[in-house]
Structure 1
Amino acid sequence: MLQKLIVIVVLSLGLSGHVRGETQLEADIKGLYDTFLTAQNARDLVRVRDTLWESPGFVWISDGKAFWGRDALIERMSAFQQAEIWSVTPDKTRSRVVEVSPVSAFLYQPLRLTLGPKADAKTIDFLVNVLCVKTPQGWRVAALFTTEENPN
């Protein structure tokens, strides 16, 4: 009986190091991204804009080009969203939050973007890195760095 108890305690201690709950920072950053993503998929550019850092330093790197400021992102995204199909699906099992400081963090978020005409929509796998900053209004997206995922 004592031997079984020792085995259970040892296994419990050994496994407890592998089980980790989500931190508040991780929940906040993932929540911000979920709001951003939901607004994109709803084609609600007002809500998308609300998730972005209100600064001329905001940048979106897309297709090898820099788009500075919230207005530039909204203008570019609105052009993409003219497509009949627009759907962003994150792979949440692969996402990671990296704290940079108490007021900044990166979110690494692989995703699948499907867009285009219904008869010929294209699906592209992207890796997105999102720099988030804490403002008096809460967490905001300060920068988006996107690149196509290389499957090799």
Structure 2
Amino acid sequence: MKRLAIAFLITATLALSGPALAQPSEDGVRDFFSQFVAAQNAHDAAKVKSMLWNSPQLLFFSRGVEIRGTESVAARFSEYYQGTWRVAPDMSKFHVALISDHVAQILVPIVFTRGLPGAEPQSSTFLISQTLVRDSDGWKLASIMPIANTQFKQ
């Protein structure tokens, strides 16, 4: 009877703890990032929003402007999609740091082609730093920071 009670307790504890997450991999982070790029290039605002961390702490910092929270960051992307917006990462220079089972950092140069509606689009290259967090739904973007200097220095 005692063994049965212990087995029940262990089973109940495991059931209540939720599903275990598989070990994170650089390939999984790369796949997530590729899907994010595809959603942006498709101007799929709903898909992009679903890939953002659902937190008021989500950060998009660009050109000296700090935007926080899922709704505000998603709205900014939707504004970009009104005109020309295309991103082309140089995946040969894509770097991932797996900080923990639940946090990853990405660094990759990206050519942005952008322009207001009706305006001539212009292209420029930025180094993008992104922090991802992982929960039971998978990876989510927690911060996005474009950096003007795109040169990796040794």
User: C-alpha separation between the residues in 1 aligned to 2:64 and 2:119?
Assistant: 28
Provide TM-score, normalisation by structure 2.
Answer: 0.77
Map of 2:92 onto structure 1: 93
Q: 1:121 to 1:28 in 2, by over 3 A?
A: same
Is 1:39 paired with 2:31? no
Equivalence for 1:108 = 107
- Displacement of 1:149 after TM fit? 2.9
**Partner secondary structure for residue 89 of structure 1:** strand
Please state whether the residue corresponding to 1:134 is helix, strand or coil.
Answer: strand
Answer whether contact 1:104 1:131 (CA < 8 A) is retained: yes
Match for 1:139: what amino acid? Answer: W
Give the share of equivalent positions with the same residue, in percent.
28
Residue of structure 2 in register with 1:18 after alignment: none
User: What RMSD, in angstroms, separates the aligned Cα atoms of the two structures?
Assistant: 2.0
CA, structure 1 residues 148+118, in 2 after alignment: closer, same or farther (shift >3 Å)?
Answer: farther
Q: Give the whole-Å Cα distance in 1 for the aligned partners of 2:49 and 2:76.
A: 12
SS of aligned partner of 1:35? helix
Normalised by the length of structure 1, the TM-score is 0.78
The runs of 5 or more residues in structure 2 that have no matched partner are 1-22
C-alpha spacing 1:63/1:102, structure 2 compared with 1 (3 Å): same
Residue-pair matches, total: 129
- Cα deviation 1:35-93 (Å, max 9, x = unaligned): 1111110000000011111111111111112110111111111112111x221000001
Which blocks of at least 5 consecutive residues in structure 1 are unaligned? 1-22
Residues 66, 91 of structure 1: alpha-carbon distance in 2 compared, 3 angstrom cutoff:
same
- 3-state SS of 1:55 partner: coil
Aligned to 1:131: 131
Counterpart code for 1:27: D
Q: How far apart, CA to CA, are the structure 2 residues paired with 1:101 and 1:24?
A: 8
